[in-house]
Amino acid sequence: MHSPAVMVMKEKRLLEAAGFSVKWEEFPTGTYAVREMASGLLDFSSCGFVPVMIARSQGAPVIILAGANKEGSALVVNKTIRTIEELDDKRIGIPGLGSIQDAMISRLARENNLLIHRMTMEVSDMPFFLQRNEIDGFIAWAPHPTKAVEQKIGQVLLTSHNIMPGHQCCVLVAGESIMQDDPETVNKVLEVYLDAYKWFLENRDEAVKLMAKHTGATEIVVRRSLNTVSYAFPPYCNVESMQSMAASLVETGRMSTREADPAAFMESLYRPEMLEKISDTN
């Protein structure tokens, strides 16, 4: 649900139809995917922009080509918690250190002077731990929050829209080496990505069925979850939100930037010129 175009590309074998030989890989969080890219083992990935920024700040040769979605996460808590202030000294499950969900919880804690104990766990396990009172809440990507609410395990206290309206979430990433050595391939992959994105936007009913298939959620849960996710087309990134999050990550010590100018850092990371060119011709 956070990378619908990639789901469509894989399901309908669009890259193969464009003449590519493809090996697909899945990772628990974006942090693992970016590590593989930094090692030269992946050419392209779709993942959260926060782990990409952190990796780039550490010297990893990764480039953001386009956005995948905006917003789409939610903080689910037990039914005794009704205000932000009541999150103080509570245990909150996160998908992993360096994830955008981790970054948003850190931001929420800092802005409200809260002590929040972050506990890393698999997203699929979060409702189970909440039900057993081993955590007080969790923050995760759609559709997991909606599934937990539908199962009466918890309630949504905040969506990511409440924490950071319109924020960038997942992005399409390429390795810097393939950008330099084979720009034609990058251009073709991006063209297929845009075609898949268009198909998703124009075939919502079939897309919902695919999302239900791949997430294990019911179509009702998928449709309700889609209300928390935003899809812009053409899929340009929300640069303002990325710069704001970068500043927060630097301030909290989660990210170090070698660039003296944050704007220069973002320009080195996000390269929308290929997307601009393709969008103009289409």
Model pLDDT, residue 245: 87
Per-residue pLDDT band for 258 (boundaries 50, 70, 90) equals: low
pTM: 0.91
* Interval 237-246: pLDDT, tens: 999 999 888 8
Model pLDDT, residue 190: 97
List, in order of start, the domains of the chain with CATH numbers.
4-70+167-281 (3.40.190.10), 71-163 (3.40.190.10)
Looking at every residue in the chain, the average pLDDT score rounds to 93
Q: Is 75 in contact with 155 (CB distance < 8 Å)?
A: no
pLDDT(174) > 60: yes
- Reading phi first (left if > 0) and then psi (alpha if -120 to 50, else beta), residue 92 is in beta
Average pLDDT value for residue range 198-222: 95
Question: φ, ψ for residue 226 (rounded to 5)?
Answer: -60, -20
Average pLDDT value for residue range 59-73: 95
* Separation between Cα atoms, residue 264 and residue 249, nearest integer Å: 16
* Separation between Cα atoms, residue 13 and residue 23, nearest integer Å: 11
Average pLDDT value for residue range 127-153: 96
* Interval 68-98: pLDDT, tens: 999 999 999 999 999 999 999 999 999 988 8
